Amino acid sequence: MTSEHKSNPEQKTHWEAVFSQKAAFFGEEPSDFAKKSLDLFRREDVHSVLELGCGQGRDTFLFARSGLRVTALDYAEAAVAEIRKRAAADRLSALVIAQSHDVRQPLPFPDCGFDACYSHMLLCMELSTAEIAFLLGEILRVLRPGGLAVYSVRSDLDKHYRTGIQLGEDIYKIGGFVVHFFTEEKIKKLAKGYDLSVIDRLKEGSLPRDLYCVTMRKRAVSEASQDNPCKENTMSAPLNRFQDFMDASLAPGVLDQKTKQLVALGAALAVGCDP
């Protein structure tokens, strides 16, 4: 059996139905993996996070409440709409951008714009090995040099491994959900272009799900290198910080109108515009 399993639209429909029927399918609380990742992001001075397969946003809002700018993607439109609504209600719209996107397509972002990419149990969905390799290449492209890619996947030590209906190599349909189980060897093979720092294990939920939690880093390239696609983006870190500040100050309810005008005037003068 090869890993080149062809996916069909059925899983997207399944996730849409699951999220439409239950407001917090994975619970209200953020995952343990998100809490661990947040500690790492704080140590690493991460400001902008791309979250892939965000579901209903239990981890998105942990990051946003901690002041990180989160771009959260999922192909389930019901989940994305719910996140947008909640971000507005919690006055976090300045920090949360939720977008519907299928990760089998190129990521809709320029090179080198994110400090970190986070995904919890996305890469182990109905994706072939080739699709996962393509996605990891896309993540590498949109991360800044030295940026972090952290992801969790169902492991070959999970008690559901090799149960259900087999659809491809290490891909099984179990109770309506398609799961691609990972081995440590697969994680190492897929880390091409990254420095692989850690493979941890974590258990989640009552099943419980047995997860590999992976931390990788995009290699830093010399600024002067001809092959450095991030060369033109060397201003992105200070600009991101400037953007964080502007977003936070101009968010509804943070400052009164007059103070907002003063902030905008100061910003215009700082970048040399005629206010």
Return residues touching ligand SAM (CB under 6 A).
15, 26, 31, 53-55, 58, 74-76, 79, 102-104, 120-122, 125
Judge if the upstream peptide bond of residue 229 is cis by omega within 30 degrees of 0. Answer: no
Which lies closer to ligand SAM via its Cβ, residue 20 or residue 243? 20
Closest approach, Cβ 232 to ligand SAM, in A, equals 29
Strand ranges in the chain using DSSP code E only, listed in sequence order: 48-52, 69-74, 96-100, 114-120, 143-154, 165-168, 171-174, 177-180, 194-204, 209-218
* Burial of residue 85, with CB atoms counted within 10 A of its CB: 0-12 exposed, 13-18 middle, 19 or more buried: exposed
Which lies closer to ligand SAM via its Cβ, residue 96 or residue 125? 125
Closest approach, Cβ 16 to ligand SAM, in A, equals 8
Sign of CA dihedral 23, 209, 46, 232: negative
- Cβ proximity of 114 and 147 under 8 Å: yes
Select from 228, 162, 160, 216 the least CA-distant residue to 189: 216
Which lies closer to ligand SAM via its Cβ, residue 20 or residue 249? 20
Closest approach, Cβ 240 to ligand SAM, in A, equals 24
Closest approach, Cβ 235 to ligand SAM, in A, equals 30
Which lies closer to ligand SAM via its Cβ, residue 19 or residue 194? 19
Which lies closer to ligand SAM via its Cβ, residue 18 or residue 187? 18
Closest approach, Cβ 180 to ligand SAM, in A, equals 10
Going across the sheet that includes 177-180, the strands are: 165-168, 171-174, 177-180
Closest approach, Cβ 186 to ligand SAM, in A, equals 18
CA 266 to chain centre: 33
Which lies closer to ligand SAM via its Cβ, residue 58 or residue 86? 58
DSSP letter assigned to residue 206: T
Q: Which residue is nearest to ligand SAM (CB)?
A: 55
- Cβ proximity of 50 and 75 under 8 Å: no
